[in-house]
Amino acid sequence: MEKIFQTTENKILAILSIALGLNTLFFIAREVKSLKFLIISTDTHLFYFLYFALAVCVSGTLLFYATGFPWKDWLVKKLLVVFPSFVLLAFALVQSKHFHYVFQVATGLYVIIAGLFLVSLRHTMTHPKHDSLETTRSTDKVWFMRQKKSTLAILILLIFINLGFGTYRIAQYAAVDEALWTFGGRISKYWNNIADRDWNGTRVSDKPGVTVSIISGTGLLFETPMDYKSIKWENGGTSHPKNDIQKLNFALRFPILLFTVFMLPVLYFFLERLFGERKALISTILIGTSPVLLGMSRIINPDSLLWIFSSLSLVSYFIFLKRRFFTYLYWSGIFLGLALLTKYVANILFIFFFGLIFLEYILMERKTRNSIDFIAYIKTAFLDYFVLTFVALAVFYIIYPAVWVRPTRLLDATLLSQAFSGTWPLFIGIISFILIDQWTMKNRITKALLDTIADKKHWLITAITAIFLLSVLFVCANTLSGMHWYDFEEILSSPKTSYTDVGFTGVFLGNFYPLVFSIHAITFLSLIFFSVFLIRHSTSTSYSYRSGLYLILFILIYYLGSAVNHVATISRYQIMIFPIAFILASIPLSIAFETLRKKISAHITSDISAFALLIIMTLPLIDSAPLYSGYNSILLPKTYHTNVKDMGDGSYEAANALNQLPDATNITIWTDKSGVCTFFVGNCYSSFNYNNLKTKGIDYVVVSSGRQSRTTKMVQGAVAGLKPNVIRFDQYYDQTDNLTYALYIDDRPGNFVKILPFKAQ
């Protein structure tokens, strides 16, 4: 301490720091009850003048004693000078809500700036696994130039394919919950509150869906949602919007589609850094031609963006583990922050990344493990994890103004989130155990436990992969045998209540059903081959195989987490998993293509194989267009389908069929899909107000497989409750004759939208 104050500069800065602190203390005393006795003036201009004068004195002192431009030293000294004021102001903001939001923003920025400076110090440290950082970082700068023209051509073609199929009838679709973002005002509210500086009002959803509001909100430059809003009648009726809603649909959906399309080359870049060109290209092709991902990317919903941000965060982190370039650690944190801003379920990545600290050590070669300092490894690994977490939360804070005025919302993205609700005691317990072990035993217990597992890592790898493989095979066997043990469609039709009937095992296995049968058969077989190959080569040191193991583990953790929280994951709920499956599938496909080239013909280059794969994987897009989410693998029997809880498939088609009927404007319908009302020109009802419906003279009933479970429960509940005038809408679903119109999505009888004449009851 004496050395610090030996210089005149530091003495002056210390005096200025005390002066700033006293000025802050007297300033906050006006609003903090416990400090009322310190009030010396109620004139805020006095305090603001003193702040300005003291800031000038601090800057002048630094400039006067500086030699050159030591900005890092200046930053450290300024942070230290301001620190007492920061602590006092942070205390005041907790005690009173009467301070201007500028002070809340200032405290947040102080934390971010100080944190970023500490993060920058991490560059000066080496990792125990590496004597020095790799020296090939400069290759990133010339990455584009060294890519083969054929690879770039395939990527450009993939962009056009994705964009072409994505825009096909993009406006002619009525998506579930989309009205909350358009007519419910979430997108408009976000931007209006930004303009009004109502920072708290930028919390437009509990998702939180900030990225959706930002990206889709660019469409507000061209269209205004309220110009297209349907008029809601009492008792569930809806009128046709006065303007062509397809214009609004395109304006707000296209930005999201365009964003995901042009993120595909970005994803390729990161995958190429991890796996190399061939696997990266195959992965990008599988992801870019996935009907499920394309279908989700065409609607206004957090899931449409979640899959790309979460995938990039995972891949970036794997690159960091492999190459130890801190740039990729920061990118992983940035993408994780964007994923959290999209949907809080992304916080499962915090748990996964934390687990990788120990798994990385376990999977090291014995020689490497014996040569490193375990305490140093744990310290640096925890520090890297802190850097990742800090960057993610900094991005979350900066882009989400609602956090500026209420920083506790950061907890919604971490410890208070659903992913941590049942695991945070274990999470905190592990950290506490390691810290106690470090202070008391120098991490001897932790090291001994991990070394014991590491000596049996072959069995660990086999166990993880076998659980995944056996689960997939069981789902196949159960489905092909007629859902003998578990009815997966029934489980997924009630994703938040089916746990009561089937328990943990049923929900866990049911989660695999959409994954197995919503991907191309080639992709599915590749997953099987990779699982078998990984079991047989569990001692391999290849980082491709290790990354594959990590991805399998993430899938299992995701499904386990959903089962623990009693939620079955329909396709939309597990949209994060699909790109992971495609990346996994690229590993054996890459090996197969190379084997094909060597054994059949040297002329079959990787580019030709990739182009052929692109053509093959485009075929499902042709078959499923424009209802891409209804795609099912040819391996799934025709009696089943995976899109059990659809997002509105067939609503436009049903409305269009009704509009072709004579005198359609005077027709009255009841539908279980409110999206039909968006496009239907007549009178439309979707409520269960039976007394009102009896008087309306219903002409047609529109029913869909995706709402059968809900309608059946509603109607049968009304019957059991002895409500009068109940209309048995539940009896229309199984009718196959006297149909006015029927759409069987993907040619599957179980995935339908039907129009039937109403029968008076």
My answer on whether 692 and 566 are in the same domain is no
User: Which pLDDT score is estimated for 132?
Assistant: 41
For residues 121 and 445, which has the higher predicted lDDT (pLDDT)?
445
Q: Is the pLDDT of residue 607 over 70?
A: yes
Phi and psi angles of residue 230, each rounded to the nearest 5 degrees, phi first:
-70, 155
* Cα separation, 426 vs 421, whole angstroms: 10
Does 164 reside within a domain? no
The band of 357, judged by pLDDT with boundaries at 50, 70 and 90, is very high
**Cα separations in angstroms, 123 against 61, 111, 330, 392:** 29, 20, 12, 18
Torsion of CA 366, 372, 377, 379, to 10 degrees: 150
My answer on whether 436 and 518 are in the same domain is yes
Each residue's pLDDT tens digit, 228-270: 776 654 445 565 666 788 999 999 999 999 999 999 999 999 9
What lies within 8 Å, CB to CB, of 214 at 6+ separation is 190, 399
CB atoms within 10 A of CB 229: 19
* Cα separation, 508 vs 498, whole angstroms: 11
User: Which pLDDT score is estimated for 761?
Assistant: 67
Given a contact cutoff of 8 angstroms between Cβ atoms, the answer to whether 243 and 228 are in contact is yes
User: Which pLDDT score is estimated for 117?
Assistant: 82
Angle, CA of 546, 350 and 113, to the nearest 5°: 120
Average pLDDT over residues 305-333: 94
Each residue's pLDDT tens digit, 58-69: 999 988 888 777
Q: Pick the closest to residue 459 from 362, 379, 381, 589 (CA basis).
A: 362
Read off the DSSP letter of residue 389. H
The three-state (H, E, C) secondary structure of 735-746, written as one string: CCCCCCEEEEHH
User: Which pLDDT score is estimated for 234?
Assistant: 46
Q: Pick the closest to residue 190 from 402, 339, 381 (CA basis).
A: 402
Does 699 reside within a domain? yes
What is the token pair recorded at 232?
A: 């809601």
Average pLDDT over residues 552-561: 93
Does 190 reside within a domain? no
Report the range of poorest mean pLDDT among 158-167, 598-607, 735-744. 598-607
User: Which pLDDT score is estimated for 635?
Assistant: 94
User: Which pLDDT score is estimated for 134?
Assistant: 46
pTM of the entire predicted model: 0.90
User: Which pLDDT score is estimated for 206?
Assistant: 81
* Cα separation, 8 vs 757, whole angstroms: 92
What lies within 8 Å, CB to CB, of 146 at 6+ separation is 139
Highest mean pLDDT among 100-114, 134-148, 348-362: 348-362
My answer on whether 487 and 611 are in the same domain is yes
Given a contact cutoff of 8 angstroms between Cβ atoms, the answer to whether 751 and 643 are in contact is yes
User: Which pLDDT score is estimated for 233?
Assistant: 47
User: Which pLDDT score is estimated for 94?
Assistant: 81
For tokens 């989410």, what's the residue?
629
Percent of the chain scoring above 70 in pLDDT: 91
Question: Of 601, 630, 659, at which residue does a domain stop?
Answer: 630
Q: Is the pLDDT of residue 75 over 90?
A: no
User: Which pLDDT score is estimated for 131?
Assistant: 41
Beta-strand pair 741-744/683-685: unpaired
Given a contact cutoff of 8 angstroms between Cβ atoms, the answer to whether 703 and 672 are in contact is yes
Q: State how far Cα 364 lies from the chain centre.
A: 30
For tokens 């299992």, what's the residue?
556
Does 78 reside within a domain? yes
The band of 435, judged by pLDDT with boundaries at 50, 70 and 90, is confident
User: What residue type is 135 in one-letter code?
Assistant: T
What lies within 8 Å, CB to CB, of 680 at 6+ separation is 240, 655, 658, 659, 664, 669
How confident is the prediction for the chain on average, in pLDDT?
Answer: 87
My answer on whether 378 and 494 are in the same domain is yes
* Cα separation, 341 vs 328, whole angstroms: 20
Question: Of 630, 661, 680, at which residue does a domain stop?
Answer: 630
Average pLDDT over residues 1-15: 75
Question: Of 630, 659, 692, at which residue does a domain stop?
Answer: 630
Each residue's pLDDT tens digit, 381-421: 999 999 999 999 999 999 999 888 888 888 877 777 766 66
Peptide bond into 208 cis (omega under 30): yes
Does 274 reside within a domain? yes
SS3 content of the chain, % helix, strand, coil (to 5): 70, 5, 25
Average pLDDT over residues 583-609: 78
My answer on whether 382 and 441 are in the same domain is yes
Q: Where are the alpha helices (DSSP H) in 29-139?
A: 44-65, 71-95, 101-120
Element (H, E) at 425: helix 424-441
Does 360 reside within a domain? yes
User: Which pLDDT score is estimated for 550?
Assistant: 94
What lies within 8 Å, CB to CB, of 105 at 6+ separation is 404
* Cα separation, 307 vs 355, whole angstroms: 21
Does 521 reside within a domain? yes
Each residue's pLDDT tens digit, 699-727: 999 999 988 888 998 999 988 887 888 88
* Cα separation, 182 vs 178, whole angstroms: 6
My answer on whether 687 and 578 are in the same domain is no
Angle, CA of 234, 240 and 243, to the nearest 5°: 130
CB atoms within 10 A of CB 519: 26
Given a contact cutoff of 8 angstroms between Cβ atoms, the answer to whether 275 and 283 are in contact is yes
My answer on whether 582 and 687 are in the same domain is no
For tokens 């939360």, what's the residue?
393
The band of 441, judged by pLDDT with boundaries at 50, 70 and 90, is confident
Q: Is the pLDDT of residue 220 over 80?
A: yes
Each residue's pLDDT tens digit, 470-524: 999 999 999 999 998 999 999 998 888 888 888 999 999 999 999 999 999 999 9
Q: 304: number of CA atoms within 13 Å, CB side?
A: 31
Given a contact cutoff of 8 angstroms between Cβ atoms, the answer to whether 587 and 530 are in contact is yes
My answer on whether 452 and 574 are in the same domain is yes
Phi and psi angles of residue 472, each rounded to the nearest 5 degrees, phi first:
-65, -45
* Cα separation, 468 vs 557, whole angstroms: 11
My answer on whether 749 and 603 are in the same domain is no
User: What residue type is 272 in one-letter code?
Assistant: E
For residues 234 and 456, which has the higher predicted lDDT (pLDDT)?
456
User: What residue type is 23 in one-letter code?
Assistant: N
* Cα separation, 617 vs 621, whole angstroms: 8
For tokens 């102001």, what's the residue?
89
* Cα separation, 755 vs 757, whole angstroms: 7
Does 144 reside within a domain? no
The band of 129, judged by pLDDT with boundaries at 50, 70 and 90, is low
My answer on whether 569 and 658 are in the same domain is no
The total number of structural domains in the chain stands at: 3
Cα torsion angle, 621, 622, 625, 629, sign: negative
**Exposed, middle or buried: residue 309 (CB in 10 Å: 0-12, 13-18, 19+)?**
buried
Element (H, E) at 683: strand 683-685
Report the phi/psi class of residue 446: left, alpha or beta, with left for phi > 0 and alpha for psi in -120 to 50.
alpha
User: Which pLDDT score is estimated for 475?
Assistant: 95
User: Which pLDDT score is estimated for 626?
Assistant: 94
Q: Pick the closest to residue 67 from 12, 154, 121, 9 (CA basis).
A: 9
DSSP letters spanning 581-633: HHHHHHHHHHHHHHHHHHHT-TT--HHHHHHHHHHHHHHHHHHHTT-GGG---
Beta-strand pair 752-757/741-744: antiparallel
* Cα separation, 132 vs 477, whole angstroms: 50
Q: Pick the closest to residue 357 from 671, 129, 166, 626 (CA basis).
A: 129
My answer on whether 587 and 705 are in the same domain is no
Cα torsion angle, 172, 177, 181, 183, sign: positive
Q: Is the pLDDT of residue 135 over 50?
A: no
Q: Pick the closest to residue 283 from 634, 596, 578, 575 (CA basis).
A: 578
Please tell me the total number of residues recorded for the chain in this structure: 761
My answer on whether 342 and 428 are in the same domain is yes
User: Which pLDDT score is estimated for 212?
Assistant: 95
User: Which pLDDT score is estimated for 451?
Assistant: 85
Given a contact cutoff of 8 angstroms between Cβ atoms, the answer to whether 215 and 305 are in contact is yes
What is the token pair recorded at 280?
A: 């990266």
* Structural domain span for residue 33: 4-99
Given a contact cutoff of 8 angstroms between Cβ atoms, the answer to whether 735 and 756 are in contact is yes
